[in-house]
Amino acid sequence: MFEMLVPKLGVNTVFDIDLEELYSKGYRGIITDLDNTLVGAKAPLATPELLKWFEKVKRLGFKLVIVSNNNMDRVSRFAAPLNIEFVHGARKPTNAPFRKAMKLMGLAPENTIVVGDQMLTDVFGGNRLGLFTVLVQPIALSDEGIGTRINRRLERIALTRLRKQGLWHEEEQHE
């Protein structure tokens, strides 16, 4: 069970993901979380740096869908001006939102990357479907709601167990 919480790659931010390498390995789509993955949970719009990243993603040939557990208003205000498709109220880590995103992109699991800041939602959900999972460090912990704060506590417990089992190595996860 705990192995399903281990991402294939750990980085500090989305900007640290080697998109060219992943594209060369056959990945063509990115399912990304919104809050604390792309921007802080209370940031309404994309930063200039993030806009450049979106341009790079598109230029390289990736398709992109935002999958968020947040509500329609929050996700659409962020994604609609950028013309990015999204799935709101996702209920991650259930399979349905990941499958919906892959359907929107017309891609199979072996061609899809999941990027998120939570092991219990993004990584677990992506790993269950055989997607390439990337864990980023959360952008603004202080902006998180109670549900996410509970998840973070559970993640700390899981990390302790993963380390004891030899399944989590810091130097491999966050280069």
Beta bridge partners of 9: 134
Cα separation, 105 vs 133, in Å, equals 17
User: Which element (helix H / strand E) includes 68?
Assistant: none
- For residue 70, which amino acid is it? N
Give the integer Cα–Cα distance in Å for 160 and 156.
6
pTM: 0.86
The residues with which 32 forms a beta bridge, in sequence order, are 66, 115
Domains in the chain: boundaries: 2-165
pLDDT tens string 16-75: 999 999 999 999 999 999 999 999 988 999 999 999 999 999 999 999 999 999 999 999
Q: Is the Cβ–Cβ distance between 120 and 155 less than 8 Å? A: yes
Domain 2-165, CATH number (from 3.30.310.10, 3.40.50.1000, 3.20.20.70, 1.10.150.20): 3.40.50.1000
Whole-number Å distance between alpha carbons of 173 and 85? 29
